[in-house]
């Protein structure tokens, strides 16, 4: 097989097209097109000594990582429908949650860095300020809601655009990575003799190591999340409904320019066991535990994913509540201490803190997982769930990971959920989480 020769991806940034935020991430004016942090967020970050990311530099670094992954695999390009992959490749955002189940947006990135964005109709103006996007088109939606019984015709029209881009930028290479696509679109592309590869693998590997500006963005998002969590803690009192308490996290995130929350996992009292119960109308009672998992997408679209369990009331927590909390805290602390560059994912599974038999049946789904724009690769499983050959990689500097645990016995009244978000450094790790644990639950 003849391998294609590519030049190093060197996208050119035109400062005249970059509007809205200054290069340091601060607001340019109040009428800017793109979404982003509010004045309140910038004021709070400054008080905490945090520096906003340089968005032009962050975007260019992300595009270069995608290009590097494509060139390593000798793919002509990647076609993206996952809105978070589109965000990573272009920093373009438009109705993320709606687009998740109505795939009307797409992006193409060639191995030499040429970027085309297909946006929802009439939305060209939303991404005109982004300097790395060379073309903005429409017509990527060929799912049934938009196209009815003509979905195959629409898919074929879209496939012809992709074929034209491959001819223009692929130098004869017909290998195209795709992250996810409607069946009609896949068939239309394959009918043009395009060799389809895994785009999700390309993008997860590109996203796994964060650059300096992404880390700055994550620190800012974490600060916003923890301020919101602090406000939620102030609102906690006997008699408040779970959904009322959860709404505080949403409101405080949004008012600072945060974007959404991926789940609504907050529960209280007997609803803390088993885990994964989402917030409901139950009113928190005196002596209850209240556990939650933020799953919060904050400013810059960066995820802040931390968990805490609190005690509600004036009296002391029970011995059993403190015991469970101690076990959970010790578990994540021991697993964090294993984190440093060069450690294999398999080694983390084998050397990680072993849960006792009473907690294994209700163990959390992972011991650790990657985090960036959302929960990301890798998934580090407990020994009971590890699959040979699935994750044979090692920890690298610049990875950001969440270390978590759920501790609750089958049939027990209470459960504890804890989670920390960390950055892998050159010689170990840095805990990015400053949110305090509930002292009444700590021995």
Identify the CATH number of the domain in which residue 385 sits: 3.90.230.10
| Residues paired with residue 161 on neighbouring β-strands, in sequence order | none
- CATH code at 69? 3.40.350.10
| Residues paired with residue 115 on neighbouring β-strands, in sequence order | 109
Q: Are residues 100 and 122 in the same domain?
A: yes
What pLDDT, on the 0 to 100 scale, is given for residue 16? 40
Asked, for residue 415, whether it belongs to a domain, the answer is yes
Q: Which of 182, 207, 232 is the last residue of a domain?
A: 207
Domain count, the chain: 2
- Residues 6 or more apart in contact with residue 376 via CB below 8 angstroms: 204, 207, 208, 369, 370
Q: Are residues 170 and 249 in the same domain?
A: no
Asked, for residue 4, whether it belongs to a domain, the answer is no
Residues of the chain with pLDDT under 70: 1-33
Asked, for residue 203, whether it belongs to a domain, the answer is yes
Q: For residue 193, give both structure tokens.
A: 């003799």
What pLDDT, on the 0 to 100 scale, is given for residue 96? 85
What pLDDT, on the 0 to 100 scale, is given for residue 153? 95
Asked, for residue 358, whether it belongs to a domain, the answer is yes
Q: Are residues 362 and 428 in the same domain?
A: yes
Residues of the domain holding 187? 15-207
How distant is the alpha carbon of residue 321 from its chain centre? Answer: 31
What pLDDT, on the 0 to 100 scale, is given for residue 4? 40
According to DSSP, residue 280 is labeled -
Q: Which of 207, 231, 265 is the last residue of a domain?
A: 207
Is residue 344 within 8 Å of 393, Cβ to Cβ? yes
Asked, for residue 9, whether it belongs to a domain, the answer is no
What pLDDT, on the 0 to 100 scale, is given for residue 22? 54
Angle between helix 151-169 and 183-190 (nearest 10): 50
Does residue 274 have a cis bond before it (omega within 30 degrees)?
yes
Asked, for residue 21, whether it belongs to a domain, the answer is yes
Q: Are residues 173 and 314 in the same domain?
A: no
Q: What length is written for the chain?
A: 443
Asked, for residue 275, whether it belongs to a domain, the answer is yes
Q: Are residues 182 and 247 in the same domain?
A: no
Q: Are residues 233 and 374 in the same domain?
A: yes
Q: How far is CA 367 from CA 294, 314, 336, 337, 338, in A?
A: 17, 33, 10, 13, 12
According to DSSP, residue 344 is labeled B
157-206 pLDDT tens trace: 999 999 999 999 999 999 999 999 999 999 999 999 999 999 999 999 99
Look up the pTM and report it: 0.92
- Residues 6 or more apart in contact with residue 261 via CB below 8 angstroms: 249, 250, 253, 294, 295, 296, 297
Q: Are residues 120 and 249 in the same domain?
A: no
What pLDDT, on the 0 to 100 scale, is given for residue 33? 60
Q: How far is the first Cα of the chain from the last one, in angstroms, to the nearest whole number?
A: 63
What pLDDT, on the 0 to 100 scale, is given for residue 35? 82
Asked, for residue 3, whether it belongs to a domain, the answer is no
What pLDDT, on the 0 to 100 scale, is given for residue 147? 87
What pLDDT, on the 0 to 100 scale, is given for residue 103? 87
């Amino acid at each position: 097989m003849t391998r294609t020769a590519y030049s190093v991806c060197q996208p050119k940034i035109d400062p005249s097209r970059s509007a809205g935020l200054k290069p340091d991430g601060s607001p340019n004016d109040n009428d800017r097109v793109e979404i982003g942090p509010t004045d309140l967020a910038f004021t709070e970050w400054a008080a905490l000594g945090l520096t906003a990311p340089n968005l032009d530099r962050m975007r260019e670094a992300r595009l270069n990582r995608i290009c590097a992954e494509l060139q390593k695999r000798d793919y002509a390009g990647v076609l993206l429908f996952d809105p978070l992959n589109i965000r990573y490749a272009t920093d373009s955002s438009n109705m993320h949650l709606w687009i998740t189940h109505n795939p009307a947006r797409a992006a193409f990135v060639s191995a030499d860095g040429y970027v085309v964005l297909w946006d929802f109709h009439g939305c060209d103006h939303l991404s005109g300020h982004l300097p790395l996007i060379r073309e903005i088109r429409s017509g990527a939606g060929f799912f049934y809601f938009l196209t009815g019984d003509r979905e195959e015709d629409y898919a074929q029209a879209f496939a012809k655009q992709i074929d034209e881009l491959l001819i223009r930028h692929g130098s004869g290479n017909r290998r195209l990575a795709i992250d996810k696509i409607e069946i009609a679109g896949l068939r239309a592309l394959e009918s043009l003799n395009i060799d389809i590869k895994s785009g999700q693998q390309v993008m997860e590997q590109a996203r796994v190591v964060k650059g300096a500006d992404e880390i700055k963005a994550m620190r800012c998002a974490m600060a916003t999340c923890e301020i919101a969590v602090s406000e939620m803690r102030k609102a906690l009192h006997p008699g408040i409904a779970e959904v009322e308490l959860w709404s505080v996290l949403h409101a405080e995130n949004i008012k600072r320019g945060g974007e959404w929350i991926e789940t609504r996992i907050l529960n209280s009292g007997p609803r803390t066991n088993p885990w994964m119960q989402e917030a409901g109308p139950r009113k928190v009672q005196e002596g209850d535990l209240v556990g939650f998992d933020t799953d919060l997408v904050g400013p810059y679209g960066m995820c802040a994913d931390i968990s805490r369990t609190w005690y509600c009331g004036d009296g002391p927590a029970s011995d059993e509540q403190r015991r469970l909390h101690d076990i959970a805290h010790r578990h994540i602390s021991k697993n964090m201490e294993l984190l440093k560059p060069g450690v294999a994912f398999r080694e983390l599974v084998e050397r990680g803190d072993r849960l006792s038999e009473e907690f294994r049946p209700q163990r959390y789904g992972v011991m650790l997982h990657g985090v960036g724009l959302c929960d990301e690769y890798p998934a580090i499983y407990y020994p009971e769930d590890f699959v040979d050959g699935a994750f044979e990689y090692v920890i690298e500097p610049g990875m950001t990971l969440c270390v978590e645990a759920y501790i609750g016995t089958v049939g027990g009244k209470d459960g504890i959920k804890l989670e920390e978000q960390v950055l892998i450094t050159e010689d170990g790790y840095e805990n990015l989480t400053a949110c305090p644990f509930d002292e009444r639950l700590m021995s």
